[in-house]
Amino acid sequence: MLPWPARPRSWKPPTTSPSRGTPRIGPAHGLADPSDGQMTIYTNDMKPYSHRTGIAEFVGMSPEQVRVIWMDGPQLYGRTAADDAGFEAAWLANELGRPVRMQWSREEETAWDTKGPAFAIDMKGGLDADGNVVALDYSARIANYAHVGYNQADTVLIAQLMGIRPERPSPGGGRGPDEMYHIPNRRLETRAVRFPLAFETPLRTGNLRDPNGPQTAFAGESFIDELAAAASADPVAFRLRLLRGSLEDDEAYRRARSIAVVEAAAEAYGWDPRPSPRAVGSGRFLTGRGISYAYRARTTVATIAEVEVDRETGRVWVRRMVCGHDCGLVINPDGLESTVQGNLLHGISRTLYEEVRFDGEKVTSVDWRTHPTLTHMDTPERIDVVIVNGDPNPDRPDLLPYGAGEPSHRTVPAAIANAIHDATGVRMRRLPLRPERVLAELERVGL
């Protein structure tokens, strides 16, 4: 039992993040040639070596009899349906004894690709009389009981449709938010929800860019912002106080580097300290700013979003983003900046638009109209990436280069949601933040 003070703060209902698809610019395909006693696979699968071993197991050949030739093609962050197309082509080629090219349609891929899992998260926190966070409770339910891995012979789509099942389902990971806040008392619980038809459903779950990170950070950083508002504290100052609450650090100096990226982002943005939300204006368009901080592995990130909310339509436009980013030693600054910008844009798309929709029989969001993504018209006017090159303490050894392909992605949903709260006083707890949902919340509070 956590020692709740006299001022507990809780969320009801929980924050929810939907299933997200992994549609690429071009849908999945694969070609299998069974000539000369071996199986040659032409594919753009992102893991050709496991593609080889998985297909060999599936069609009953030795790995030495299977050759995978990688071809250039559309990619994404996460598990692609190219796994499935290659297996299907290989199985048909093996049965027919002649080359087979398997080409999925756009509708097939968007309906049957693996999905980033849905989350529902409850959080409760406690503030003492001085506005310090003394307890935090995180309870999540994740629809990821039967996680589909890469090129597994017993979980690819054709295997599932043939009735093949793994000996034991593999629940996907679901850890809580990754941050270095000093909070004396914590409880974290994550439960993988078991669907009655875990393998028959088209809502197959698999890795999607920064697996589970945006969902957990959306809940965690939105709630930290709510605690800051309850304490009448500036959101940046509130986070820095939590980060500075302990002098202990780890081998990657994540606490010191977390402080550095929060400070760097705030300085680059020109952050004016004040509690959130601001006084709501009288015009049609309301503006606000929000911050979100997290780390992934050994990379620390803080992102600030500035939004414009149309109170008549509910449309949210992210006008500006600033990202403080520390991935250790930087080798290619231009490449790093482009990577972070791509992270942020993809994050905006997932936050504002992307959602898998379905009825009692099938996935219904099967094209770019029903599963929309960010367009050029919706991109920010300005994105600033502030590179913090390793540990700010010159007396410590230099750090190694760490990853940049995904960490900044996880900070985007909460930064945007916190900015909407700053502009309107409304807390958005369900992603994506589509206009109809935002408008409904604005109307609910009389804005």
Coil, helix or strand at residue 274: coil
pLDDT at 170 over 90: no
pLDDT tens digits for 340-363? 999 999 999 999 999 999 888 889
Instruction: Give the count of beta carbons closer than 10 Å to the beta carbon of residue 252.
Output: 19
CA dist., res. 246 & res. 240, Å (int): 11
State the pLDDT at residue 237.
Answer: 98
Of 112, 141, 165, the one marking the end of a domain is 112
Residue 53 lies in a domain: yes
200 — pLDDT class (breaks 50, 70, 90) = confident
Residue 167 lies in a domain: no
Q: Are 362 and 202 a contacting pair, CB within 8 Å?
A: yes
State the pLDDT at residue 10.
Answer: 54
Average pLDDT over residues 365-386: 93
State the pLDDT at residue 20.
Answer: 78
pLDDT tens digits for 26-53? 889 999 999 988 999 999 999 999 999 9
State the pLDDT at residue 8.
Answer: 56
Q: Give the domain range for residue 42.
A: 29-112
pLDDT tens digits for 52-107? 999 999 999 999 999 999 998 887 777 888 899 999 999 999 999 999 999 999 99
Percent of the chain whose predicted confidence (pLDDT) is above 90: 63
Domains in the chain: how many in total?
A: 2
314: left (phi over 0), alpha (psi -120 to 50) or beta: left
pLDDT tens digits for 332-342? 999 999 999 99
State the pLDDT at residue 290.
Answer: 99
Give the best-scoring range by mean pLDDT among 68-82, 152-166, 211-225, 406-420.
406-420
Q: Which two tokens stand for residue 393?
A: 């303490």
Residue 302 lies in a domain: yes
Of 217-221, 227-231, 289-293, 391-395, minimum mean pLDDT range = 391-395
pLDDT at 261 over 80: yes
pTM of the model: 0.93
CATH number, domain at 436? 3.30.365.10
Residue 193 lies in a domain: no
State the pLDDT at residue 131.
Answer: 92
The DSSP secondary structure of 294-322, one letter per residue, reads: EEETTEEEEEEEEEEEETTT--EEEEEEE
Average pLDDT over residues 412-439: 97
Of 5-14, 89-98, 105-114, minimum mean pLDDT range = 5-14
State the pLDDT at residue 196.
Answer: 62
Give kind and range of the element (H or E) at residue 33: strand 29-33
Residue 380 lies in a domain: yes
Average pLDDT over residues 129-154: 89
Average pLDDT over residues 359-380: 91
Residue 103 lies in a domain: yes
Residue 431 lies in a domain: yes
257 and 108 inside one domain? no
pLDDT at 9 over 80: no
Residue 154 lies in a domain: no
More confident residue, 89 or 251: 89
Average pLDDT over residues 119-141: 92
State the pLDDT at residue 69.
Answer: 97
State the pLDDT at residue 91.
Answer: 98
State the pLDDT at residue 286.
Answer: 97
Of 53, 77, 112, the one marking the end of a domain is 112
pLDDT at 394 over 90: no
Three-class SS string for 403-425? CCCCHHHHHHHHHHHHHHHHHHC
State the pLDDT at residue 14.
Answer: 64
Q: Which of 157, 52, 53, 65 is nearest to 102 (CA)?
A: 157
pLDDT tens digits for 273-303? 999 999 888 899 999 999 999 999 899 999 9
Of 83, 112, 141, the one marking the end of a domain is 112
